[in-house]
Structure 1
């Protein structure tokens, strides 16, 4: 659900509902309504939320699990980003 995705993104950033509301120029209760799926945000608010968290609308609306739309990048940037993503996925942290 959209509300779950908004809450997940907000928590990943360590952001409160009030802080997100400030970024969106909305009240904390509006953000709470979005997260509880009691209130449906307008398209302009959805775009602002996607911009705040730097994710695609498709990810925000749970149409994909890919957070970022790399298709909007030029080929060189896309290749570079894919290499970085592969390196990050291959990197393993081990405990001594």
Structure 2
């Protein structure tokens, strides 16, 4: 998690100050930074909130610290529908698509 050290130093935050704010030991912050241990999901979330950055940035999965915009309610609703669709068997998926096509037709929506 070398990006943690980068963003901490960029913000002039010491390991001690960060450990106090996150309610963890300074040693644990040091272990995160050198990659000796990974933070729990809770601590990773706290770090991202503290630095206003993405968890992907903290985990060195991207060089861009800017978090992805939060999903709006419609996006969440669509994601929930997709999650349910994924677990349907093939026959049920066909029925779902047919019903969706019917609703689109019934509402006069062109696509």
Provide the TM-score with structure 2 as the length reference. Answer: 0.58
Segments of structure 2 that go 5 or more residues without pairing to the other structure are 73-111
| Structure 2 Cα separation of the partners of residues 67 and 36 of structure 1 | 19
* Residue 56 of structure 1 pairs with residue 54 of structure 2: yes
Distance 2:33 2:24 in 1: 13
Q: Which moved more, 1:34-43 or 1:17-26?
A: 34-43
> Post-superposition, which runs of at least 4 consecutive aligned residues in structure 1 deviate over 3 A?
none
| SS of match in other structure, 1:72 | coil
Unpaired runs of at least 5, structure 1: 75-96
Q: How many Å apart are 1:65 and its aligned residue?
A: 2.1
CA RMSD of aligned residues (A): 1.7
Aligned partner (choices 12, 16, 36) of residue 14 of structure 1: 12
Partner of 1:30: 28
Structure index of larger Rg: 2
How many aligned residue pairs are there? 72
